[in-house]
Amino acid sequence: MASLKVLNYELSPSPATIFGCLLPAPWMGVLTGLLLAVGPQQGLPYRFAPLTLALTHCLVLGMLAPIMIGALFQLMPVVAGQAVPGARKIAPFVALGSALIATGLSLGFLQGSTAGFIVAGALASLLYGAVTLALLIAACKIAVVDTTTRSLRWVVLAFFLVVALGISLAGNFAGWWQLDIMYLLDLHVAWGLTGWIATLVVGVASTTVPMFWQTKRPSAYWQKALPGALWLPLLLAFWPALQQFALFFACLVIVLLASIAFVAIWRAKRRFDPAWGLWLVCTTSYMCAALMAALPPLLKHVGGLVLPDFISQALPWWVAVLILVGGAVLPVNAMLGKIIPFLIFLHLRRQTPMGQRVPTMQAVLPPQRLLWQARLVLLAFGFLLLLPLAPIWFAPIAGIAFSLSQAYLGGLLIMCLMRYRHELQAIFKAN
């Protein structure tokens, strides 16, 4: 059993630094859902349909990237004791810059606009280059003691790889150079979904899930194995001859890790918490996505079998939805519903004189409201999985449901912020 981690909340960044990254992100999720509902459905759910590519980048860059960068700005000082230099100056540009990059790529995919790829590539180089440099300076000083600190130290390199591969692909579409698109694309997707998103979810969850949902703390084997167990096959994938084998091996690792996580979450003490079910679905999603991704190469090499055309076209959509929504949006929604009220409680406690009452997390954000948000995002998740069966019918339904779920979450977070400002004003008036 790993020893308890001492969290240094005194080093926590200012609320503006973190809230500026986190609070706008759900509203980009709203726009992503609306794009699915009203966008051109031609080709759905084909992997390379223009709308599929636009939706993927709107969700990953517009919504998930600011949240994950904001989480790093918060966790590096609190968990690892190392403040990110320049975080306060960079934070105001993270959400807006990511939204503009996603918009440029979406225009490039949907309208064939070369200018969109050029703008996206240039902005990504500036914004994510600054983020990478700031995180790298802090990461070099982190002392590794467990999965979370090891992930915090090295995940910046995975982020750099994902961005570099993405800029390489954007440069291809912009006409700057001609590279092997499929080779780069497989690496970009693998490192984006597993090396960056899954690694950061696992690293953050290894601390936050035992803290908020009272699960058994990760074992010593878990602490030593991650994130290296996820990254080793991804590093082997850079060799073209080993790429398919390496990605298949990565799928097996994900199935094993997700199974262990599922058992731990199933035995959580706070199973009554509204977001507990989101974590169960998250781990199940990773298991299903990995098994689905491993199925085509397995059938091909074992018996030379080929999947039916419908399954072959729908499989990448299902894998993407399972990882990006089930494995990323769901845990992000679960953690935002906990971390934002917790940060408000933490900062109010800092600024409240001794003897005065500080509102609890449950008072800042009532659990019943989180329960309805969790049900709504799970409903949207289900519709997204059904989309390949009838894209014309399910695309608008899934898009609207997803937009509503993220708008509800965004509204809840704004209410939390208003409560924070109200409490601060009351403190100033009383003193």
- The pLDDT tens digits of the residues spanning 19-56 come to 889 999 999 999 999 999 999 988 889 989 999 999 99
| Mean pLDDT along residues 355-373 | 84
User: Residues 375-398: pLDDT tens digits?
Assistant: 999 999 999 999 999 999 999 999
So what's the pLDDT on residue 228?
A: 87
Within-domain flag for 34: yes
User: What would the mean pLDDT of 86-110 be, rounded to a whole number?
Assistant: 94
Q: What percent of the chain has pLDDT over 70?
A: 97
Confidence of residue 1 (pLDDT cuts 50, 70, 90): very low
Across the chain, mean pLDDT equals: 89
What pLDDT sits at residue 120?
92
Residue 268 lies in a domain: yes
Does 424 or 180 have the greater pLDDT score? 180
What's the pLDDT band for 301 if we cut at 50, 70, 90? Answer: confident
This prediction's pTM: 0.91
- Cα separation of 82 and 76, whole Å? 5
Q: How far apart are CA 330 and CA 374, in angstroms?
A: 8
CATH number of domain containing 241 = 1.20.210.10
Q: What's the rounded mean pLDDT across residues 318-337?
A: 94
DSSP 268-283: -S-TTSTTHHHHHHHH
Q: What pLDDT, on the 0 to 100 scale, is given for residue 81?
A: 85
Indicate the number of domains in the chain.
1
Q: Quick one: pLDDT at residue 217? A: 85
- Average pLDDT (322-336) is 94
- For residue 2, being part of any structural domain is answered with no
Least confident residue range of 211-220, 285-294, 375-384: 211-220
Q: Is 1 inside a domain boundary?
A: no
Is residue 304 very low, low, confident or very high in pLDDT (cuts 50, 70, 90)?
low
Q: Is residue 3 part of a domain?
A: no
pLDDT in tens, 332-363: 999 898 888 888 888 888 777 776 777 888 88
CA distances from 393 to 53, 56, 221, 240, 387 (A): 20, 20, 46, 40, 8
Asked if residues 74 and 7 have their Cβ atoms less than 8 Å apart, the reply is no
Residue 327 located in a structural domain: yes
- Give the contacts of 258 (CB within 8 A, at least 6 positions apart): 283, 284, 286, 287, 290
Residue 3: per-residue pLDDT: 44
Yes or no: say if 116 and 174 are a contact pair by the CB < 8 Å rule: no
Q: What is the DSSP letter of 82?
A: -
The per-residue pLDDT for 223 is 81
Which whole number is the average pLDDT over 413-423?
87
The predicted pLDDT at position 149 comes to 85
421 exposed, middle or buried (CB, 10 Å; 0-12, 13-18, 19+)? exposed
The sign of the CA dihedral 122, 127, 130, 134 is negative
**pLDDT reading at 184 higher than 50:** yes
Residue 318: pLDDT band (50, 70, 90) is: very high
Q: Is the pLDDT of residue 4 over 50?
A: no
Element (H, E) at 28: helix 25-38
Judge whether residue 104 has pLDDT over 50: yes
Domain presence at residue 300: yes
The answer to whether residue 4 is domain-embedded is no
Give tens-digit pLDDT for 244-255: 888 899 999 999
- Give pLDDT, residue 227: 86
Question: At 80, phi and psi to the nearest 5?
Answer: -105, -5
Q: What DSSP designation does 62 have?
A: I
pLDDT reading at 64 higher than 80: yes
Higher pLDDT, 385 or 368: 385
Q: What is the pLDDT of residues 186-200, one digit of tens each?
A: 999 999 999 999 998
Q: Which range marks the domain in which residue 37 is found?
A: 9-430
Q: What confidence score (pLDDT) does residue 333 get?
A: 94
